[in-house]
């Protein structure tokens, strides 16, 4: 049979009562129509369904929503953009087997492969909900020992988010409204099932949207818990660092004093050197904890990233293995940044050590500097607008999976074997970069190496040269110093060092004791050397009180860590001596502080 075009067979277009949106073809009840329908189906790809008294399915493919050819109904079920799934898992709350068969018949007609479970009691429904994977619940309103409201309550009891549709021949308008208010999705009348398939599809789409929102909400909650966990660890790190640095100050200080008395060439002097080195390693670990928690005290200055890399490069070469080649590519036009040089060195050393461990069989480590603008930061939409300087560290090592990348900045997380890593290196890097107002980006693939890029905000201030940053001061003096420190070991060490080098020292363990001591002191007071965190009156408040009596007083604060709230309360332009410190560092910083302008700014 020759058929020129489908429009030749279409005398009129009607709407299907089951699919109002579907165009229908009415072409009579002849063999030609049957052949034409089969031809169209084989041409365009869809399913041809023949309806006599009871429809049955012919294995044909057809591309449009629906066609009706006399007793032949052809419904297009496109394979590429079809929204109806092949399998529909249904829980039927129905006591009538015939009514259940009617519903299944309607679902089969719609192209579903139905997997149905029928229940008639609350116990059976609860068991089915707990054991089966379901897509929809279809419930009669009234059963001999059960009802739709009871079934809805059972569904809510399990906490499962499933479409609940009532299909009943006895439900009245008031009962239907009450059921909808109780949580039913829709209600249909038996024998009038035109809306069944659209209702199921609508409710399944809405259920999927609710599940997506739930998953997104759970993801946000997980992020919040992660932030809270990081904040809690940060608070713990700050508290531990405060006490730990006090102890390390005493250990380092007294070991240094003993070494000076005994001499480093004696056997006991070498033992003392080991104590000093162990304490220094512990101090480095504490700095990493503080860097992660972003509580490390910093004195940012304008720096050249190129100068930092060039100065640190000889040390970095000693850190890596002989089979690892280090290469630098420094852009001479790289912007200056406002940062703490010690922190930047720590970032680079941590990343270099991490890269070295990723290349046990050797490889190439590349350090680069460059510039970037906000447009280059599409991967980090949270970055502040402006210009950035970039320092990147890349390796040709083993790389990381996406799962590992998602956790690399978590403190104490490490993929290294036991004893080879603390899990704080990258956490410290993240903390430092964030504290400096920058952002960090990571790209890695298993077997193809890793690259870390740090974006630091540009500063227009000219970089400070190393000679300008160094202050060489004589380690002795004759001035009067008030030393206030609640940790007895630190206070005793500082008093001994200062007194041995000519200073007159007044010491107290609290601000209240210091004020009582000064009440009977009529002489000069040149320097207040005080811990920031003191019980009762803190160091900042003490400085303000003393400046009123001695306007030319200089102030040098000490701290194992600075809480941001406490730091904001300190005098503008304060000088800070970080714990742990050595005798030489203490003397140098005291001499520097005495050479500064009077601390009238503390008032």
Q: pLDDT value at position 421?
A: 55
Predicted confidence band of residue 484 (pLDDT cuts 50, 70, 90) = very high
Residue 248 has pLDDT above 60, yes or no: yes
pLDDT tens, position by position, 374-414: 665 555 555 677 889 999 999 998 888 888 877 777 766 66
Picking from 241, 240, 430, 422, the residue whose alpha carbon sits closest to that of residue 346 is: 430
Q: Tokens 């109904």 correspond to what residue?
A: 73
Query: Dihedral through CA 135, CA 139, CA 144, CA 146, nearest 10?
Result: 60
Of the candidate CATH numbers 3.30.56.10, 3.40.960.10, 3.30.565.10, 2.80.10.50, the domain formed by 301-467 belongs to: 3.30.565.10
Show the tokens assigned to 583. Answer: 């005798």
Q: Which of 190-204, 461-475, 499-513 has the highest mean pLDDT?
A: 499-513
Residue 237 has pLDDT above 90, yes or no: no
Of the candidate CATH numbers 3.40.50.970, 3.40.50.300, 3.40.50.2300, 3.30.200.20, the domain formed by 87-194 belongs to: 3.40.50.2300
Show the tokens assigned to 306. Answer: 């190129």
3-state DSSP assignment of residue 508: strand
Predicted confidence band of residue 20 (pLDDT cuts 50, 70, 90) = very low
- Which carries the bigger pLDDT value, residue 53 or residue 501? 501
Predicted TM-score (pTM) of this structure: 0.47
pLDDT tens, position by position, 502-521: 999 999 999 999 999 999 88
Contact 334/371 with Cβ under 8 angstroms? yes
Residue 543 has pLDDT above 50, yes or no: yes
Contact 380/441 with Cβ under 8 angstroms? yes
- Facing residues of 364 across strands? 325
Residue 33 has pLDDT above 60, yes or no: no
Q: In the predicted model, what is the mean pLDDT of residues 323-332?
A: 91
Predicted confidence band of residue 246 (pLDDT cuts 50, 70, 90) = confident
H, E, C per residue of 422-470 = CCCHHHHHHHHHHHCCCEEEEEECCCCCEEEEEEEEECCCCCCCHHHHC
357, with CB counted inside 10 A (0-12, 13-18, 19+), is buried
Rounded Cα gap, residues 99 and 97, in angstroms: 6
Residue 599 has pLDDT above 60, yes or no: no
Q: In the predicted model, what is the mean pLDDT of residues 459-464?
A: 80
Residues in the chain: 603
Domains 87-194 and 471-602 share a fold: yes
Contact 543/571 with Cβ under 8 angstroms? yes
pLDDT tens, position by position, 520-530: 888 899 999 99
Residue 84 has pLDDT above 80, yes or no: no
Cis peptide before 250 (omega within 30 of 0): no
Contact 547/538 with Cβ under 8 angstroms? no
**Which CB contacts under 8 angstroms, 24+ apart, belong to 502-506?**
502/476, 502/477, 502/478, 503/477, 503/478, 503/479, 503/590, 504/478, 504/479, 504/480, 505/480, 505/481, 506/480, 506/481, 506/482
Q: pLDDT value at position 529?
A: 95
Q: pLDDT value at position 525?
A: 94
Predicted confidence band of residue 576 (pLDDT cuts 50, 70, 90) = confident
Residue 3 has pLDDT above 50, yes or no: no
Q: pLDDT value at position 512?
A: 94
Residue 87 has pLDDT above 90, yes or no: no
Phi, psi at 327, each rounded to 5°: -130, 135
3-state DSSP assignment of residue 287: helix
3-state DSSP assignment of residue 568: helix
Q: Where are the alpha helices (DSSP H) in 22-172?
A: 31-44, 97-109, 122-131, 148-158
Integer angstrom CA distances of residue 460 from 332, 385, 435, 440, 457: 16, 15, 19, 21, 10
Q: In the predicted model, what is the mean pLDDT of residues 317-336?
A: 88
Q: pLDDT value at position 164?
A: 92
- Which carries the bigger pLDDT value, residue 405 or residue 152? 152
Q: pLDDT value at position 386?
A: 82
Where exactly are the structural domains of the chain?
6-75, 87-194, 232-293, 301-467, 471-602
The mean of the pLDDT values for the chain is 76
- Exposure string (b/e) for 323-341, b if CB count within 10 Å is 16 or more? ebebeeebeeebbbbbbbb
Picking from 177, 124, 172, the residue whose alpha carbon sits closest to that of residue 150 is: 124
pLDDT tens, position by position, 271-309: 888 888 888 777 776 766 666 555 555 567 889 999 999
pLDDT tens, position by position, 340-375: 887 888 888 888 888 888 898 889 999 999 998 866
Residue 544 has pLDDT above 60, yes or no: yes
Rounded Cα gap, residues 574 and 571, in angstroms: 6
- Facing residues of 443 across strands? 451
Q: In the predicted model, what is the mean pLDDT of residues 54-83?
A: 35
Query: Which of 489-498, 538-547, 560-569 comes out lowest in average pLDDT?
Result: 560-569
Residue 591 has pLDDT above 70, yes or no: yes
Q: pLDDT value at position 566?
A: 61
- Facing residues of 74 across strands? 48, 67
Share of the chain above pLDDT 90, in %: 21
H-helix or E-strand spanning residue 576: strand 576-578
- Facing residues of 91 across strands? 117, 137
Rounded Cα gap, residues 409 and 268, in angstroms: 41
Q: In the predicted model, what is the mean pLDDT of residues 53-69?
A: 33
Q: pLDDT value at position 504?
A: 94
Q: Where are the alpha helices (DSSP H) in 183-266?
A: 196-262
Residue 50 has pLDDT above 50, yes or no: no
- Which carries the bigger pLDDT value, residue 312 or residue 512? 512
H-helix or E-strand spanning residue 173: helix 173-182
Q: pLDDT value at position 526?
A: 93
Q: Tokens 């006399």 correspond to what residue?
A: 70
Query: Which of 37-46, 86-95, 104-113, 536-545 comes out lowest in average pLDDT?
Result: 37-46
**Domain with residues 471-602, CATH architecture:** 3-Layer(aba) Sandwich (3.40)
Picking from 205, 166, 190, the residue whose alpha carbon sits closest to that of residue 84 is: 205
Q: Tokens 């800070």 correspond to what residue?
A: 576
């Amino acid at each position: 049979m020759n058929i020129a075009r489908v429009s030749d067979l279409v005398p009129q277009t009607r709407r299907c009562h089951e699919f109002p949106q579907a165009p229908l073809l009415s072409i009579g009840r002849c063999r030609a129509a049957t052949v034409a329908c089969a031809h169209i189906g084989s041409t365009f790809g869809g399913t041809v369904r023949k309806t006599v008294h009871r429809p049955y399915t012919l294995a044909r493919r057809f591309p449009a929503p629906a066609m009706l050819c006399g007793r032949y109904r052809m419904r297009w079920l496109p394979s590429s953009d079809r929204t109806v799934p092949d399998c529909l898992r249904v829980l039927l709350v129905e006591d009538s087997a015939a009514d259940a068969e009617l519903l299944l018949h309607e679902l089969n007609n719609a192209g579903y492969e139905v997997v149905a479970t029928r229940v008639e009691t609350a116990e059976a429904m609860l068991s089915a909900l707990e054991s089966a994977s379901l897509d929809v619940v279809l419930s009669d309103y009234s059963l001999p020992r059960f009802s739709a409201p009871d079934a809805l309550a059972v569904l809510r009891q399990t906490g499962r988010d499933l479409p609940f549709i009532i299909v009943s021949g006895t439900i009245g308008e008031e009962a239907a409204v009450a059921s909808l208010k109780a949580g039913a999705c829709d209600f249909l009348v038996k024998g009038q099932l035109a809306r069944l398939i659209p209702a199921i599809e609508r409710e399944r789409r809405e259920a999927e949207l609710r599940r997506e929102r739930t998953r997104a909400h759970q993801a946000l909650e997980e992020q919040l818990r992660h932030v809270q966990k990081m904040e809690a660890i940060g608070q713990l790190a700050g508290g531990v660092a405060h006490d730990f640095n006090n102890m390390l100050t005493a250990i380092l200080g007294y070991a240094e004093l003993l070494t000076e008395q005994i001499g480093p060439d004696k056997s006991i002097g070498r033992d003392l050197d080991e104590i000093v080195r162990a304490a220094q390693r512990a101090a480095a670990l504490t700095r990493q904890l503080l860097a992660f928690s972003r509580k490390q005290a910093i004195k940012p200055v304008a720096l050249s990233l190129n100068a930092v890399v060039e100065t640190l490069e000889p040390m970095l070469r000693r850190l890596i293995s002989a089979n690892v080649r280090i290469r630098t590519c420094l852009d001479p036009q790289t912007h200056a940044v406002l940062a703490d040089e010690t922190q930047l060195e720590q970032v680079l050393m941590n990343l270099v050590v991490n890269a070295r461990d990723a290349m046990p069989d050797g490889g190439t480590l590349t350090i680069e500097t460059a510039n970037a603008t906000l447009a280059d930061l599409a991967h980090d939409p949270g970055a502040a607008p402006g210009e950035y300087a970039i320092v990147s560290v890349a390796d040709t090592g083993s790389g990381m999976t996406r799962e590992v990348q998602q956790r690399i900045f978590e403190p104490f997380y490490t993929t290294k074997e036991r004893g080879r890593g603390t899990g704080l290196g990258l956490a410290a890097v993240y903390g430092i970069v964030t504290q400096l107002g920058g952002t960090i980006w990571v790209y890695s693939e298993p077997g193809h190496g890793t690259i870390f890029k740090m974006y630091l905000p540009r500063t227009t201030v000219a970089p400070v040269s190393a000679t300008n940053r160094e202050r060489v001061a004589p380690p002795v003096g004759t001035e009067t110093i008030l030393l206030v420190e609640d940790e007895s070991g630190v206070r005793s060490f500082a008093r001994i060092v200062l007194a041995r080098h000519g200073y007159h020292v007044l010491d107290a363990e609290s601000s209240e004791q210091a004020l009582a001591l000064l009440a009977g002191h009529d002489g000069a007071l040149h320097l207040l050397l005080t811990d920031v965190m003191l019980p009762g009156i803190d160091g900042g408040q003490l400085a303000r009180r003393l400046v009123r009596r001695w306007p030319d007083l200089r102030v040098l604060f000490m701290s194992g860590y600075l809480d941001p709230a406490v730091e904001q309360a300190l005098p503008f332009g304060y000088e800070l001596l970080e714990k742990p410190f050595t005798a030489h560092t203490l003397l140098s910083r005291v001499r520097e502080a005495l050479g500064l302008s009077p601390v009238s700014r503390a008032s």
